Amino acid sequence: MSDGQRLLEIKDLRISFSVGEDTVRAVNGVSLTLDRGEALGVVGESGCGKSVTFSSVMGLLPSPPAVIEGEIVFDGRDVTKLSDRQMRRVRGKDIAMIFQEPMRSLNPVMRIGNQIVEALLLHGAVSRGQVWTRALELLKLVEVPDAPSRLHCYPHQLSGGLRQRIMIAMALASQPRILLADEPTTALDVTIQAQILELLKRVQRETGMSIVIITHDLGVVADIVDNVAVFYAGVIVEKADKYSLFRSPMHPYTIGLLNCIPTLQTKRKRLYVIEGNIPDPARLPIGCAFSPRCAYATERCLTEKPETRECAPGHFCACHLAGQIDPLNP
Amino acid sequence: MSRLLLAVPAMLGVFVVVFFVIRMLPGDSAEAMLGASATDAQIETYRAAHGLDKPAPVQFWIALKNLFRGDLGDSLSHYRPVLSVVLERLPSTIELAAYGIVLGSVFAVILGVVAASFRGRWPDLIITAYSTFGMSLPTFYIGLWILMVFAVKLDVIPVSASAVEGLPRWKTLFGPVLTIVVGGSLVRTTRSAILEILEEDFIRTARAKGVPKALILFRHALGNALIPIITMVGYGLAVSFGGAIVLETVFGRSGVGKLLIDAITVRDYPLVQGTTFVIALFMIVANLLTDVAAGFADPRIRVAGAGEL
């Protein structure tokens, strides 16, 4: 796609934290682009750097202790270089974020309406006279039933699903160009999960904004994203449009993740597991970070970090053996 | 409502304990009032006249019956009903407690928020050091230092407020209120409450919305920190009546606290009884007010009774 379409570009992002003597390398050279209107799924296990990457896009990482290197170019500006004040104008206005725990992500002593109105007034999205009308519109947009009375509710009076809808309404208050959703459905019931994802998809279609859904569950996002980036130990090991990623995964880790989704056709008696744990981010392997868990690992994998290559058009993979592994018979 | 009912046995308990404890003190009213030169006959006459010759349980029974009729007895040293003596002194103590609590709380909350927002840096260190210092010094010691500086060295307030007629109000309040402000523990409560709340997810949400730092602190964090703060303020209000004993003595204010000390000195049993009764009543009222205020600060408490919407 052309550069005119490009909204966000992350270039070789590295984020580390000093914890006592150790340096914890949470993100180790992530490069990523997001186009206007794109829906990107970001998948990986807990601690793989996916949330840290996008928190830094929002400027939400406390620095220090976080050390951020690389560039995060949003709309032609490197947001890592913005002052606190400038960043605040981007946060919530151009880039909005919703979080995993809707139960704890709303201020318990403020009425729902006031929290939405606060978001509306901060960025001057509407005039003072219009805020309550607009707040009501937002609640209707996110399909909150009985919206007028909900404005006067406190968060504890609402269910988790409703609270996440409120979070989305708040995020949409200033018509952001990117919505970052960090595990937006993880804490919710399965039926509610589907509703929230459906809502995100519809809102994205209607507003034309870009959306990033961060999740550990490939199955959750398959339906609503265009592209998927797979994170492992602070790097993107594979990125492609969802069809080629699901049909022909190249990285052994992605293959493993896909095999973890149980299907009725699966003849195996036991659920598939990827043996081992993600490496300690304070002590990363010299070679490929996945090599200690990888069934195909060679001598080269243990000593040499794989470069990200475009193995098929639009299909990127960071594995020495990309294209040589049969995903159907791992 | 149940809290109100619990107040009744609490008040009775105070009444019983005080009644017997003051009678365990060496010496009695007759000796204290008549002086060392009184004859045995004079003392006997005095005791009989004030019902002090009867056994303690009988005296207690009489006092209890009077209490339920709203009669706290007559003061032995003031020669009039205890109630009127206490009520006369009460406004002075309430005034002191009110100014002390309001100014002390506002000052402490601001310092606590500032300390929390500069966590670990020099403003925090200075504020924390100051509040630890203030908390660890006894009230009377802080009071004496304030007298030293403001009354003796700077001469802006009198050494004893009641000794000078027609003083402007602020001059009588300045010393004791400053003592309450310096000695308060609310700075630390506020600081730690704010620090804890700043770790909460909804603070991250507020930051993600682009809320400026000052608003995050005072609207989102302080709004939630009010619950522990109010509990502490309520506690402060309750103990301020006890604290008045020391403060009024140090600064020479004629309030309920000073009244109690004087009454104990002269073994004015009914007055001691009446004063402690009123102080206990205020502590209970302060606790009730705290519960009500906490309900206003926390919708989860307030609305819980009204049912879910």
Least trusted range by pLDDT, from A54-58, A225-229, A324-328, B243-247? A324-328
Cβ of A170 within 8 Å of Cβ of B205? The answer is yes
Q: Give the whole-number percent of chain A exceeding pLDDT 90.
A: 9
3-state SS, one letter per residue, for A47-89:
CCCHHHHHHHHCCCCCCCCEEEEEEEEECCEEHHHCCHHHHHH
Q: What is the pLDDT of residue B2?
A: 67
Closest chain A residue to the Cα of B299, Cα to Cα = A109
Chain B, nearest residue to A158 by Cα: B309
**Domain end marker among A148, A175, A202:** A175
Which of B45, B68, B91 marks a domain boundary?
Answer: B68
pLDDT at residue A2 in the model: 44
Judged by a CB distance cut-off of 8 A, whether residue B293 touches chain A is: no
What pLDDT, in 10s, does the model give residues B52-106?
A: 778 888 888 888 888 888 787 788 788 888 888 888 888 888 888 888 888 989 9
Clarify whether residues A186 and A135 are in a common domain. Answer: no
Residue A153 lies in a domain: yes
- More confident position, B47 or A114: A114
Q: Mark whether B152 and B22 lie in a shared domain.
A: no
For residue B56, report the phi and psi dihedrals to the nearest 5 degrees. Answer: -55, -45
> Cα(A293)–Cα(A295) distance, rounded to whole angstroms?
7
Same domain, B101 and B55: no
In a domain, residue A323? The reply is no
Question: What pLDDT score was predicted for residue B114?
Answer: 92
If one counts the domains in chain B, the total is: 2
Instruction: Record the pTM.
Output: 0.80
The sheet with strand A235-241 has its strands ordered as A95-98, A178-182, A210-215, A39-43, A227-232, A235-241, A315-317, A309-312
- Same domain for A77 and A216: yes
CA distance A39 to A202: 12
- pLDDT over threshold 60, residue A238: yes
Please check whether residues A118 and A146 belong to one and the same domain.
yes
Q: Among residues A156, A175, A194, which one ends one of the domains? A: A175
pLDDT at A88 exceeding the cut of 80: yes
Residue A263 lies in a domain: yes
- The mean pLDDT value for B240-267 works out to 86
From the list A58, A89, A101, the residue facing B208 with the nearest CB is A58
Task: Tell whether B7 and B114 lie within a shared domain.
Answer: no
> Could you tell me if B283 and B93 are in contact, meaning their C-beta atoms sit under 8 angstroms apart?
no
Is residue B220 included in any domain, yes or no?
Answer: yes
Across chain A, mean pLDDT equals: 84
Q: Give pLDDT tens digits for B114-134.
A: 999 888 889 999 999 999 888
Could A92 and B308 be called an inter-chain contact, meaning their C-beta atoms sit closer than 8 Å?
Answer: no
pLDDT of residue B307: 39
Q: CB distance from B188 to chain A under 8 Å?
A: no
What ipTM was reported for this prediction? 0.84
User: For residues B253 and B245, what is the distance between their CA atoms, to the nearest angstrom?
Assistant: 10
Could you tell me if residue B106 is inside a domain?
yes
Residue A74: φ, ψ to 5°: -115, 120
Question: Closest Cα to residue B273, out of B48, B7, B68, B23?
Answer: B23
Distance from CA of A193 to the nearest CA of B (A): 20
Which among B204, B223, B298 has the least Cβ separation from residue A60? Answer: B204
Which residue range forms the structural domain that includes residue B19? 2-68
Q: Are residues B203 and B113 in the same domain?
A: yes
Last residue of a domain, one of A149, A175, A201: A175
- Whose tokens are 């770790």? That residue is B199
Q: Does any domain span residue A77?
A: yes
- Nearest by Cα to A321 from A309, A230, A329: A309
Residues 6+ positions from B40 with CB-CB distance below 8 Å: none
**Residues A198, A300: one domain?**
yes
Let me know whether B9 and B103 are in one domain.
no
- Say yes or no for a CB contact (<8 Å) between A170 and B226: no
Q: B185 in a domain, yes or no? A: yes
Residue A93 has its nearest CB partner, among B200, B210, B213, at B210
In a domain, B191, yes or no: yes
A110 belongs to a structural domain: yes
Domain range spanning residue A30?
Answer: 6-94+176-317
CA distance B86 to B83: 5
pLDDT confidence tier of residue A267, bands split at 50, 70 and 90: low
Rounded average pLDDT over B42-57: 79
Q: Is residue B76 part of a domain?
A: no
pLDDT at B266: 83
Based on the fold, state whether residues B133 and B24 are members of the same structural domain: no
**Contact A107/B at CB under 8 A:** yes
Mean pLDDT value of segment A46-54: 85
Considering the domain architecture, whether residues A166 and A183 belong to the same structural domain is answered as no
Domains: count for chain A: 2
In percent, the amount of chain B with pLDDT more than 90 equals: 12
Is B244 found in the same domain as B207?
yes
Q: Are the Cβ atoms of B220 and A153 closer than 8 angstroms? A: no
Is the pLDDT higher at B3 or at B119? B119
The beta-carbon neighbor of A154 closest among B204, B213, B303 is B303
**Among B210, B212, B220, beta carbon nearest to A107:** B220
Together in a domain, A78 and A89: yes
Calculate how close chain B gets to A48, using CA atoms only, in Å: 20
Domain assignment present for B98: yes
CA distance A119 to chain B (A): 6
Nearest residue on chain A to B201, alpha-carbon basis: A105
Closest of B221, B309, B306 to residue A153, by C-alpha: B309
Residue that terminates a domain, selected from B41, B68, B95: B68
Are A166 and A180 contained in the same domain?
no
Mutation for testing the B interface, residue in A56, A91, A105, A172 having most B CBs under 10 Å: A105
SS (H, E, C) chain A: CCHHHEEEEEEEEEEEEEECCEEEEEEEEEEEEEECCCEEEEECCCCCCHHHHHHHHCCCCCCCCEEEEEEEEECCEEHHHCCHHHHHHHECCCEEEECCCCCCCCCCCCCHHHHHHHHHHHCCCCCHHHHHHHHHHHHHHCCCCCHHHHCCCCHHHCCHHHHHHHHHHHHCCCCCCEEEEECCCCCCCHHHHHHHHHHHHHHHHHHCCEEEEEECCHHHHHCCCCEEEEEECCEEEEEEEHHHHHHCCCCHHHHHHHHCCCCCCCCCCCCCCCCCCCCCCCCCCCCCCCHHHCCCCCHHHHHCCCCCEEEECCEEECCCCCCCCCCCCC
- CA of A224, closest CA in chain B: separation in Å? 24
The CATH number covering residue B187 comes to 1.10.3720.10
B208/A96 touch (CB, cutoff 8 Å), yes or no? yes
Of the candidates A42, A14, A168, the one whose C-alpha atom is nearest the C-alpha of residue A99 is A168
Residue of higher predicted confidence among B167 and A306: A306
Tell which A residues from 147 to 186 touch B, by Cβ distance under 8 Å: 149, 153-154, 156-157, 167, 170-171, 173
Residue A253 sits at the chain B interface (C-beta within 8 Å):
no
Q: Choose the final residue of a domain: B10, B41, B68.
A: B68
Asked if the structure places residue A327 within a domain, the reply is no
Question: Do A38 and A23 lie in a common domain?
Answer: yes
Q: How confident is the model at residue B309 (pLDDT cuts 50, 70, 90)?
A: very low
Mean pLDDT (whole number) for A42-67: 83
Based on the domain organization, do B50 and B90 belong to the same domain? no
Say yes or no for a CB contact (<8 Å) between A88 and B210: yes
pLDDT in tens, A149-195: 889 999 999 888 889 889 998 988 888 899 999 888 888 888 888 88
CATH number at residue A185: 3.40.50.300
Query: Could you tell me if B236 and B184 are in contact, meaning their C-beta atoms sit under 8 angstroms apart?
Result: yes
Q: Which two tokens stand for residue B193?
A: 């409450």
Query: Nearest C-alpha of chain A: how many angstroms from B210?
Result: 5
User: Which of A86, A95, A109, A122 should be substituted to probe chain B, the one whose Cβ sees the most B Cβ atoms within 10 Å?
Assistant: A109
Specify whether A205 is located in the same domain as A267. Answer: yes
Q: Is residue A281 part of a domain?
A: yes
